Amino acid sequence: SVQRPRPRVLLKAPTLAEMEEMTTSEEEESP
């Protein structure tokens, strides 16, 4: 019998817009 692989863990990801916001705020913080 075929052994079924264990389920993979879903990695939560921010949306593209949220990533954009994060990058913008990082850029603003750094001089």
Partner 1 sequence: RQVTVQRKEKDFQGMLEYHKEDEALLIRNLVTDLKPQMLSGTVPCLPAYILYMCVRYADNTNDDLKVHSLLTSTINGIKKVLKKHNDDFEMTSFWLSNTCRLLHCLKQYSGDEGFMTQNTAKQNEHCLKNFDLTEYRQVLSDLSIQIYQQLIKIAEGLLQPMIVSAMLENESIQGLSGVKPMGYRKRSSSMADGDNSYCLEAIIRQMNCFHTVMCDQGLDPEIILQVFKQLFYMITAVTLNNLLLRKDVCSWSTGMQLRYNISQLEEWLRGRNLHQSGAAQTMEPLIQAAQLLQLKKKTREDAEAICSLCTSLSTQQIVKILNLYTPLNEFEERVTVSFIRTIQAQLQDRNDPQQLLLDSKHMFPVLFPFNPSSLTMDSIHIPACLSLEFLNEV
Nearest to 14 by CA among 1, 25, 3: 25
3-class SS of residue 12: coil
Among 1, 3, 12, 29, binds partner 1 (CB under 8 A): 12
Q: How far is the CB of 26 from partner 1 (least distance, A)?
A: 9
Residue 14 interacts with partner 1 (CB under 8 A)?
Answer: yes
User: What is the Rg, in whole angstroms, of the alpha carbon atoms belonging to the chain?
Assistant: 18
Q: Which is nearer to partner 1, 13 or 28 (CB)?
A: 13
Amino acid at 7: P
Residue 5 interacts with partner 1 (CB under 8 A)?
Answer: yes
